[in-house]
Amino acid sequence: MNFIDKLSAAWTANHSLLCVGLDPDLAKLPAELRDTPDGITTFCTRIIDATADLACAFKPQIAYFAALGAEKQLEDICRYLRDNYPHIPLILDAKRGDIGATATQYAREAFERYGADAVTVNPYMGEDSLDPYLAWPDRGVIILCRTSNPGGSDLQFLDTDGVPLYQRVARLVAEKWNKNGQCALVVGATFPEELAQVRAIVGDMPLLVPGIGAQGGDIAATVGAGQTANGMGMMISSSRAIIYAQPQDGEDWTDAARRVAIETRDAINQHRAV
Ligand SMILES: O=c1ccn([C@@H]2O[C@H](COP(=O)(O)O)[C@@H](O)[C@H]2O)c(=O)[nH]1
Q: Is 24 in the pocket of ligand 1 (CB under 6 A)?
A: no
126: domain range?
Answer: 3-270
Question: Ligand 1: distance of its center to the CA of 273 in Å?
Answer: 25
Question: Ligand 1: distance of its center to the CA of 49 in Å?
Answer: 21
For ligand 1, pick from 95, 237, 238, 244 the residue to mutate: most ligand atoms within 8 Å of CB: 237
Q: Does residue 35 register a pLDDT over 90?
A: no
Question: Ligand 1: distance of its center to the CA of 136 in Å?
Answer: 25
Verify whether residue 6 is a known catalytic residue: no
How would you classify the pairing of strands 57-60 and 18-22? parallel
How would you classify the pairing of strands 118-121 and 140-146? parallel
DSSP state of 137: T
Ligand 1 atom closest to 187 (CA)? 1
7 vs 29: CA distance, rounded Å: 29
ipTM over 0.90: yes
204 vs 181: CA distance, rounded Å: 11
For residue 51, count other CB atoms closer than 10 A to its CB: 25
Q: Whose CA is nearest to atom 4 of ligand 1?
A: 210
Q: Is 14 in the pocket of ligand 1 (CB under 6 A)?
A: no
DSSP state of 175: I
Q: Which has the closest alpha carbon to 232: 81, 57, 42?
A: 57
Residue of 28, 59, 72, 95 with catalytic role = 95
Q: Is 23 in the pocket of ligand 1 (CB under 6 A)?
A: yes
Any idea what the CATH number is for the domain that residue 117 is in? Answer: 3.20.20.70
Question: Ligand 1: distance of its center to the CA of 210 in Å?
Answer: 5
Q: 143, 123 in Cβ contact below 8 A?
A: yes
DSSP line for 157-168? T-EETTEEHHHH
Question: Ligand 1: distance of its center to the CA of 75 in Å?
Answer: 20
Tens of pLDDT, residues 199-219:
999 999 999 999 999 999 999
Q: How far apart are the first and last CA of the chain?
A: 25
Across 10-15, average pLDDT: 98
Q: Label residue 149 by pLDDT band (50, 70, 90).
A: very high
| pTM of the entire predicted model | 0.98
For residue 170, count other CB atoms closer than 10 A to its CB: 26
Q: Which has the closest alpha carbon to 20: 273, 268, 270?
A: 268
Q: Is 61 in the pocket of ligand 1 (CB under 6 A)?
A: yes
Q: Does residue 1 register a pLDDT over 80?
A: yes
Tens of pLDDT, residues 157-202:
999 999 999 999 999 999 999 999 999 999 999 999 999 999 999 9
Half-sphere exposure of 211 (CA within 13 A, CB side): 25
Ligand 1 atom closest to 212 (CA)? 13
Q: How far is CA 247 from CA 23, 27, 184, 270, in A?
A: 18, 17, 34, 24
Q: Is 239 in the pocket of ligand 1 (CB under 6 A)?
A: yes
Q: How many domains does the chain have?
A: 1
Tens of pLDDT, residues 75-108:
999 999 999 999 999 999 999 999 999 999 999 9
